[in-house]
Amino acid sequence: MPDTYQRVVALTGAGISTDSGVPDFRSPDGVWARDPGAVRSVTRKAFLTDPTARRRFWDMCADAYDHAPAPNAAHRALVDLEHAGLLRGVVTQNVDGLHQAAGSTPATVLEVHGTVATTRCVCGHRRPTPEVLALVRRAGPSRPEPACRDCGGLLVPDAVFFGDHLDRAVFGHATALARGCDLLLAVGSSLVVEPAAGLCAAAVESGADLVVVNAHPTPYDDLATAVVREPIGTALPRLAADLIAGRGVRPA
């Protein structure tokens, strides 16, 4: 591995936000392991057709907002890399907005799975999700779910659900970043969800080094120049400091 990198791209998954109190999904202690039925609430068909699934989704969102997660040291480490002029972009599978909250320039953050910060209606009207959640709380468990104030239609978060396609323009930009970087940091992602995980292969095929920072093995570990298993909240700040100092990627 070279000692210096000039075009770093980060691919981040749920694991980067667990220190902020946001649970991940696919680890042994993740959301799907603890509550397998919860996956139905983020499946597009169920959300559109099943009021119970929608209510469960909105309850999950309300709980997440009530906990008011804040950025952690790993998010801030990427901000440090950006300020040092080394980070070309953050491609995130997360919908929590914590990269922007940490100080990442919004234009450099590509949310390939969308965001829960805003909610839309099929008529095109959008509103901030906290406004919708305020209606959910006021309505209580037995009253009608919130509806679009313009047409009365169904409100849907601006996040990618199971069964959805990714935004082609956003993912095209993410692919260009992966192919143009000299180091891809895959942080806190199980790397089992395609096509986002395939950015690792795109980067390596274009000549970049790949460093995987994740607590558990991933399908792309064999392609990696280095695999880091230490906690992300300590690993990523250390890696960022080394990159900024020109020490390359050193073993923990």
Q: What is the pLDDT of residues 75-121, one digit of tens each?
A: 999 999 999 999 999 999 999 899 999 999 999 999 999 998 898 98
Known active-site residue 113: yes
In this model, does residue 149 exceed pLDDT 60?
A: yes
Determine the pLDDT at residue 251. 60
75, 113, 125, 165: which is the annotated catalytic residue?
113
Residue 153 burial (C-beta neighbours within 10 Å; 0-12, 13-18, 19+): middle
Contacts of 92 (CB under 8 A, 6+ apart): 10, 11, 12, 13, 99, 109, 110, 111, 112, 113
Determine the pLDDT at residue 32. 45
Determine the pLDDT at residue 139. 62
User: What is the rounded radius of gyration, in angstroms, for the C-alpha atoms of the chain?
Assistant: 19
Do 28 and 252 form a contact (C-beta atoms < 8 A)? Answer: no
With bands split at pLDDT 50, 70 and 90, how would you rate the model's confidence at 244? very high
Structural domains of the chain ordered from first start? 1-22+71-113+166-252 (3.40.50.1220), 23-68+115-159 (3.30.1600.10)
Q: For residues 204 and 226, what is the distance between their CA atoms, to the nearest angstrom?
A: 12
Do 146 and 130 form a contact (C-beta atoms < 8 A)? Answer: no
Segment 156-169 mean pLDDT: 86
In this model, does residue 172 exceed pLDDT 90?
A: yes
- Average pLDDT score, the chain: 87
- Give the tokens for residue 124: 């095109």
Which phi-psi region, left, alpha or beta, contains residue 146 (left: φ > 0; alpha: ψ -120 to 50)? Answer: beta
Q: For residues 108 and 98, what is the distance between their CA atoms, to the nearest angstrom?
A: 13
Contacts of 217 (CB under 8 A, 6+ apart): none
Q: For residues 230 and 250, what is the distance between their CA atoms, to the nearest angstrom?
A: 13
Residue 240: closest CA among 1, 10, 2 = 10
